[in-house]
Amino acid sequence: MEDNPELFNKYNNVTKRDTAESLKEYAKKIKWRSNARVLDIGSADGSVTSILSTYIPQDYEILLGCDINSNSVKFANAQYGTERMKFFVLDIEKPIPEHLKESFDHVFSFYTLHWLTDPVMGYINIYHLLKPGGECFLVLSGKSPFYDIYHALSLTEKWAPWAKYFDTIVSPYHDCKVCITLFYV
């Protein structure tokens, strides 16, 4: 679905729901800056960034969504782009352009960072995107029964040929024994 932003937009309901629920719970605990510059990493089709826009103080300067997929960025700009909400291509695992360093008051990411092949670089880049004292709010996929189902199917004769990329769709945090769930307080 990632290569088809229209299809992703139509069926990405779990992420939309979870984004709204997490922001409803935690947005009030964020130390919002006035005239904030806000970034959403992994914005895909733009629908989640649009949801985010309803939870941030409306005096924000700009809300940018970024994604590695140029088709998604084009779709997001067409569907959700406004004068203060725009989308652009960025690979969070690559060096950050100088003009973006220390330029955001708040960085968000919803169900994106568990896909990274180099998560350390991704988190370092998030740090570099933030202004001094800036805050980030990150939602990642951890333990999920879906991954157990994918694994069970990958072991069957019928589904094994379709499951050759199983390791690339399972969150690296799925079987983590020492992961700690942190809540924004």
Residues in contact with 144: Cβ distance below 8 Å, sequence separation at least 6, in sequence order: 171, 174
pLDDT given at position 167: 62
The DSSP bridge partners found for residue 127 are none
pLDDT band of 185, cuts 50, 70, 90: very low
pLDDT band of 181, cuts 50, 70, 90: low
CATH code for the part of the protein at 5-139: 3.40.50.150
Is the pLDDT reported for residue 121 higher than 70?
yes
Q: How many CB atoms lie within 10 A of CB 52?
A: 23
Is the pLDDT reported for residue 1 higher than 60?
no
pLDDT in tens, 137-179: 998 766 556 666 766 777 788 877 877 665 665 555 555 555 5
Question: Greater confidence, 149 or 125?
Answer: 125
pLDDT given at position 168: 61
pLDDT given at position 38: 99
Helices (H), the chain: 5-11, 13-26, 47-53, 70-80, 119-129, 145-154, 166-169
Q: Which residue has the tokens 């139509």?
A: 10
Q: What is the mean pLDDT of residues 128-132?
A: 98
Q: Which residue has the tokens 């960072």?
A: 113
pLDDT band of 182, cuts 50, 70, 90: very low
Residues of the chain with CATH 3.40.50.150: 5-139
